[in-house]
Amino acid sequence: MIATRVLAVDPDRPDRRALAEAAAVIRAGGLVAFATETVYGLGADATREDAVRRIFAAKGRPASNPLIVHVADVDMARGLAARWPAAAQRLAEAAWPGPVTLVVPKVERIPAIVTAGLDTVGLRVPAPAVARRLIEEAGVPLAAPSANRSEHVSPTRAEHVVADLGGRIELVLDSGPTAVGIESTVVDLCGDEPRVLRPGPLTRQRLAALLQVAVGEGATAHGPARSPGQHGRHYAPRVPALRVESLQALARLRPEAGDVVLVVGREADLPAIEGPVVRLPDPETAAQRLYAVLRDCDERGARRLLVLMPPDEGAWAAIRDRLCRATTAG
Ligand code: TXA
Ligand code: MG
């Protein structure tokens, strides 16, 4: 056990002393959790194998799951890329700082442990000033996965980080709840066609519009498993969680007191249901609140979480992806 300190900081005008303290922890090979616009990340010096090893240990994360490297700006990203495709430049200009991670060939300076042995690296410039100033202050790129225990729900508040990783990391910079709420879109730019490896806030349709080319999805044959960590149970609450696609199917589960019903992206009138109903009407609200709702179900000791899924449409792709990983079909 190590003592985990929590420092409150303003997300837009972070206190210099707090940043200096956090940067010192990073330079000493330690772990600092900080907010990005998506979820809290667990940061370490991406150029130091010993520091990055501690991320995997603190999370209980399998070594086969590569980490995203966070940089302060496009120039810093280019310095870590062995090749910088035109599509990377285009997306960086259009979408950074922002919730999209670009997978490109990596330089030697990034140790193999960061990328799970892949010859590519996922790079992203996070939006909040606190995140970018921390990177600048530390003077190194930050490897940072979501700051939760492996397979648990990603953290959107500092309290979530402390609940999962308290006693395992040196510092949490608490700058309040994250704005977007679900993890970045991961786009592979190493092949002939850009591919979405993990759906996220920037939709595939939007990426295609920005790049003016077709954008695929899922892993390809051009390399090893291109989206390791994207299978199996993930983002899961502890409460038994079931998903259904229609009101009729929801009724068949016979919601009762003690269950939490989560209605995502539907206006539909529900039949009379006992117990709390949480509605997430649009994709932005759903992203922002989803993980807190999942964690709340655990906290209040809900019997079951019953999810009425949003429509199978592009705007909901990322939310559907996370909900599918968090639940089993009911
Ligand atoms: O929004 C986010 O992306 C957050 C914040 C903290 O930036 N980070 C995050 O990291 O969600 P993590 O480690 O929980 O998820 C990283 C995902 C994994 O699915 C991993 O497989 C994929 O990115 N990834 C990272 N590097 C990759 C690479 N070189 N090739 C393919 N996939 C990669
Ligand atoms: Mg994660």
Confidence of residue 226 (pLDDT cuts 50, 70, 90): very low
Whole-number pLDDT of residue 271: 72
Q: What tens digit of pLDDT does each residue of 156-178 get?
A: 999 999 999 999 999 999 999 99
CB 220 within 8 A of CB 195: yes
Q: Is 115 in the pocket of ligand 1 (CB under 6 A)?
A: yes
Whole-number pLDDT of residue 223: 47
Q: Is 155 in the pocket of ligand 1 (CB under 6 A)?
A: no
Please give the torsion angle defined by the CA atoms of residues 296, 301, 302 and 303, in that order, rounded to the nearest 10 degrees: 150
Q: How far is the CA of 137 from the centre of ligand 2 (A)?
A: 25
Closest ligand 1 atom to the C-alpha of 42? 6
Q: What tens digit of pLDDT does each residue of 40-67 get?
A: 999 999 999 999 999 999 999 999 999 9
- Orientation of helix 283-299 relative to helix 158-165, angle to 10°: 40
- Domains of the chain are 5-217 (3.90.870.10), 241-329 (no CATH)
Q: How far is the CA of 151 from the centre of ligand 2 (A)?
A: 7
In angstroms, the CA 204 to CA 196 distance is 7
Q: What tens digit of pLDDT does each residue of 255-308 get?
A: 998 999 999 998 777 777 777 899 999 999 999 999 999 999 999 999 999 999
Average pLDDT over residues 109-119: 97
Whole-number pLDDT of residue 103: 98
The three-state secondary structure class of 273 is: coil
Q: Which amino acid is at 138?
A: A
Q: How do strand 216-217 and strand 277-280 relate by DSSP bridges?
A: unpaired
Arithmetic mean of pLDDT over the chain = 94
Closest ligand 1 atom to the C-alpha of 122? 26
Query: Which residue owns the Cα nearest ligand 1 atom 12?
Result: 145
Q: Is 52 in the pocket of ligand 1 (CB under 6 A)?
A: no
Query: Which residue owns the Cα nearest ligand 1 atom 20?
Result: 66
Q: Which ligand is nearest to the CA of 145?
A: 1
Helix H or strand E encompassing 207 = helix 204-211
